[in-house]
Amino acid sequence: MPIDFNPHIMHMTPAQINVNKDYRMRQNTDVFTKNINSEINNIDNKFDGIRISERPFGKIQKTSEQSKLYTITNRNGASVDLSTFGATIVGIKIKDKNGNLKDVTQGYNNVTPYETSPVGHAGGTIGPCANKISNGEFELNGKTYILEKNKDNGKTHSHGGSEGFDVRNWTAKILPDGIEFSYNKKDMESGYPGNVSAKVTYKFDNDNNLHIIYDAETDNDTVLNLTNHTYFNLDGAENTQENSIYDHIVKLPNSSRYTKNNDISVPTGEILPVKGTPLDFSTSKRIGDVIDSDFDQLKIASGFDQNYVIDNYDGKSLIEIADVKSSKTGINLKVSTDLPGFQFYSSNHLGKNTQPKGKDGLKYEKRSAFCIEPQFFPNAVNTKEFEIKPILKSGEHYHKEIVYSFSISN
């Protein structure tokens, strides 16, 4: 169900923009003011006419800060909703084959569920290190760092722990073509070394491409592996019932190998071919036709929760890694990245009784969404077989990108 937006900021680019101007609109009893400073030179035509609005998203209980929700709307009427809390994707609304807007992402109506009842890091910016670190520790420059063991009954550290990037309130800057979120992680926050200056920039263009650009620097060598954890259902996120992604058609065109997991879904270091296994999506397959196959990796995870190795990775090129289609809505999602791997997850662990209700007023059930999470390999910092390490050194610049591209197919 779409969120009802009453924006008090409207930002239009490039010709319609007014810079250095206060925009005010009375909303209930509060007056909200925003000063916009933007550079409008050399805007790509793909972003011409993009509108950006802002509204309150609720009070953060822990810090008493006010979270904000930004909406980027393109000329097609498609939009992306972004929260300062966690630099989170709250909603993506795309027109289906009948011209009706469909929200294709799971999420919540205000900040409170994201803070008090976090479920699966929905839509959040994951960091400092995405995925698992075995035994909740790693060694860097001869020193051992001990992290919170928040997963697998205290056996692993996962997704930055309970105080990771997705539960921090980021600072937002409005750009002519998107939103830039920034967060400064302090040295040893969440157990990771280094004062890290991190930025996540979202740009949504008129071709329905959502660009997610990560930049970071550190004053001390550290581990950094950033991704996004959006839960997608291309039939529409109102389809919350169990197994509601079974009719999605998936192709993973540049992933001929995967990293084998142990019994708690931590890679063993082995890299194996997908050929001949249910993990092989080199040709298009319906999720429901393969998810319950008799295969150890699927049994360990109760479905898909696998890191795929991206073919021809060079650290620079954007490579298409996923092509997912809904025959019901005609909505097609393609995912590209310059990261070396990605997690394909079928939301096997949703449906817990403690979950809050979603945007549609219903609980998100098991296998009601899928995630494509580009990343460095899980536990790469501890796995000698994985040569590519998620280590950001002092003086270096971290720069990675994910692109979600939406279209309509017949």
Write the single-letter amino acid at 164. Answer: G
Q: 365 in helix, strand or coil?
A: coil
Write the single-letter amino acid at 382. Answer: N
CB contact at 8 A, 252 and 374:
no
Say how far apart CA 72 and CA 89 lie, in whole Å.
11
Say how far apart CA 152 and CA 179 lie, in whole Å.
35
Write the single-letter amino acid at 202. Answer: Y
Catalytic residue flag (residue 65): no
Residue 184: CB atoms within 10 A of its CB come to 12
Residue with tokens 């699966």: 120
Fill in the DSSP letter of residue 282.
Answer: S
Fill in the DSSP letter of residue 338.
Answer: S
Write the single-letter amino acid at 301. Answer: A
Nearest to 88 by CA among 212, 233, 198: 212
Q: Which of 159, 229, 238, 248 is catalytic?
A: 229
Instruction: Give the pair of three-digit tokens for residue 228.
Output: 């996004």
Say how far apart CA 293 and CA 291 lie, in whole Å.
6
Q: List residues bridging with 116 in a β-sheet.
A: none
Q: Which of 180, 189, 238, 373 is catalytic?
A: 373
| Residues making up the chain, counted from first to last | 410
Nearest to 36 by CA among 170, 223, 157, 175: 175
Three-state SS letters, 228-280: ECCCECCCCCCCCCCCCCCCCEEECCCCCEEEEECCCCCEEEEEEECCCCCCC
CB contact at 8 A, 217 and 61:
no
Q: Which residues contact 387 (CB under 8 A, 6 or more apart)?
A: none
Sheet harboring 305-309: ordered strands across? 267-273, 257-261, 305-309, 341-345, 371-375
Catalytic residue flag (residue 373): yes
Q: Using CA of residue 21, residue 27, residue 32, residue 38, what is the dihedral sign?
A: negative
Active site residues: 229, 373
